Amino acid sequence: MQALYRIALLAGDGIGPEVIAEAVKVLKTIESVNGVSFRFQAGLIGGSAIDATASPLPAETVAICNNAQAILLGAVGGPKWDSNRPETRPEQGLLQIRKRLGLYVNLRPVKVLDSLAGYSAIKPAYVKGTDLVIVRELLGGIYFGNPRGIFAKNGERMGVNTEIYREHEVERVAHRAFQLARMRRRKVTSVDKANVLETSRLWRDVVTRIGRNYPDVELNHLYVDNCAMQLIDCPTGFDVILTSNMFGDILSDEAAMVAGSIGFLPSASLGEHAALYEPIHGSAPDIAGRNKANPMAAILSAAMMLRYSFRLETAARAVETAVEKVLKRGAHTSEVARSGRALSTSRMGDLIAAETGKILKSGSPRKRK
């Protein structure tokens, strides 16, 4: 009997539907070769959900996600909804689904392949060999703290956002970071702003305490501004970067430029009983519907889903190897193509799907390093 895996597809806005279609194409190739079965169910989120239901996260979408073993999401947002009230902006759909499902840790791997080193914003000699993971706390910090809002006081408007971290929130994400480091190069860099912020002082204290449970893992601390500098100066020096919600959001976009394009970077948002996978890029409304978007981050997010939610390690490695082989042949979409013809979104998906099938049939995906 075929193993059945249930996947909620939340394509979202802008280029989201286009890149998710290519990830599904790759998954269907795996299905045809590997003897597994994926059952897809689509739901609305973000701006598309607002247009259809007036809510960025309809109850039907929540039900679909609760019935799935994993969620694959495209992107949310766009200028069309910029004037909406804060509670009906597309981004609220993403924040709400994270909170409802308890997705408290976000993994954002950044790996610079030799074939991509020349596309980095930094000299190739500095970025070759970069292989790090940003472990971002996802349910605390300034994105969720109250009070928040824009208020009138003494005749002028005042914007308020509140940064809150509770001890248990730091503990659980720290454990995840140290456990991940044990499977890699055994080094955790915890990033905060403890010289200024009380939340960061708590963060540093808790991470230090948790680190004593992992004596085989090296722990060091950096202020976020210093980390931002070192990511440019020596990205190969990092293994696992553990940090808060907002710092992780900012640093992972910086790290994308180390890799050459935000279009290459996947992510996994994990809780105790649920998981959501998405590219870290936005909805790119300027190229939406033009078959120009890079689908690799969405495809690599699907590979993370195969690994973490379904334990299909061979299939996950096959997808990752397929992406590397296609890139090595010089195939690129328009945001990084420098010479020759840029490939369309769908053509890139075709190449990766075909290569994935070839690798699985040969039985020899590359081992993870």
Angle at 317 between CA 121 and CA 97, to 5 degrees: 75
Which one from 111, 214, 249, 277 is the annotated catalytic residue? 249
Where do we find the tokens 């989201």?
16
Active-site residue, 82 included: no
Any idea what DSSP says for residue 213? T
On the question of a cis peptide bond just before residue 147, with omega within 30 degrees of 0, the verdict is yes
Which one from 25, 111, 193, 292 is the annotated catalytic residue? 193
DSSP of 280-297 = SS---TTTTTTT-S--HH
Active-site residue, 216 included: no
> Any residues with CB less than 8 A from the CB of 290 and at least 6 apart, and which?
none
Active-site residue, 205 included: no
258 C-beta neighbours (distance < 10 Å), count: 23
| Encoded tokens for 181 | 């480091």
Give the C-alpha separation, 226 to 15, whole Å.
Answer: 34
Active-site residue, 308 included: no
| Encoded tokens for 321 | 């190897």
Give the C-alpha separation, 123 to 125, whole Å.
Answer: 6
Angle at 230 between CA 225 and CA 231, to 5 degrees: 100
Which one from 128, 187, 253, 308 is the annotated catalytic residue? 253
Residue whose C-alpha is closest to residue 188's, from 259, 231, 243: 243
> Any residues with CB less than 8 A from the CB of 58 and at least 6 apart, and which?
43, 44, 49, 52
Active-site residue, 249 included: yes
Partners of 221 in beta bridges = 190
Give the C-alpha separation, 295 to 72, whole Å.
Answer: 13
Give the C-alpha separation, 161 to 215, whole Å.
Answer: 37
Which one from 104, 143, 165, 214 is the annotated catalytic residue? 143
| Encoded tokens for 264 | 């290459």
| Encoded tokens for 302 | 């699907």
Which one from 51, 114, 205, 225 is the annotated catalytic residue? 225
Give the C-alpha separation, 89 to 171, whole Å.
Answer: 31
Active site residues: 143, 193, 225, 249, 253
